[in-house]
Amino acid sequence: MNPARQFQDLLGLRRPPVAVTFRDSAPAGVPRIASPGPSSCTYWKLAAEGQTFCTEAPDHYNCPIGAYVHGVDPPPEVMKELQGVVSTMVSLGYIRNEEVPGIPRREGSFGVAVYAPLAETTGQPDVVIVSGNARQVMLLAEAAQAAGIGGSSPAMGRPTCAALPEAMKTGRGVASLGCIGNRVYTDQGDDELYFALPGSQVGAVAEKLAGIVRANQELEKYHKARK
């Protein structure tokens, strides 16, 4: 079975998984996004709604933090805005100056980013983003653990998009609690969070998921009986 279908059917996801692939240039037949979104994570929502498209560096300029995380080298005016946003966050006590250098960032030059529903993507994506409630992400995290790529660090927080380079760099699953900007731009529910998977490991995790779901169903019966 296709991994996207397995994730969707076994977890009962509200939104389908999204595949993100970074390339030097756009694949044949994949259009550039018609107009830049207000954030880089806005493109996740569009892909989950069924769209396949690519973005170029300028399409990320509206989101200075997202541009930084994706490895986009912004022009001076965007860099100035990034510094202003960070200064505001620091003044609000939202982030500390010393945290900034530790924010994960994609390595290498930015050509294009291709977004698509996982079920419709061709080739191996760099990272797959799954949105779900706590129970769904719990099951996915357990499947990742069973596949040998369980997260090696606590769930990440802001910025949400930092989960992408973290999954790509570590080759492991990454849980993200999200951030307020992401929730505004993507309509992510208050009860939902994310799990990012390196594209190379999606099949291995999907293979483990059915067994994990069955095990949890049996263990739920056991615990309810004891209760």
Q: Give the number of domains in the chain.
A: 1
pTM of the full structure: 0.89
SS3 category, 93:
coil
Residue whose C-alpha is closest to residue 164's, from 101, 114, 97? 114
Domain that holds residue 94: 3-226
- pLDDT band for position 7 (50/70/90)? very high
The tens digit of pLDDT for each residue in 46-88 reads: 999 999 999 999 999 888 888 889 999 887 777 777 777 777 7
Dihedral (Cα; 136, 141, 145, 148), 10-degree rounding: 110
Residue 1 has pLDDT above 70, yes or no: no
The tens digit of pLDDT for each residue in 119-156 reads: 999 889 999 999 999 999 999 999 999 999 987 677 88
Residue 219 has pLDDT above 80, yes or no: yes
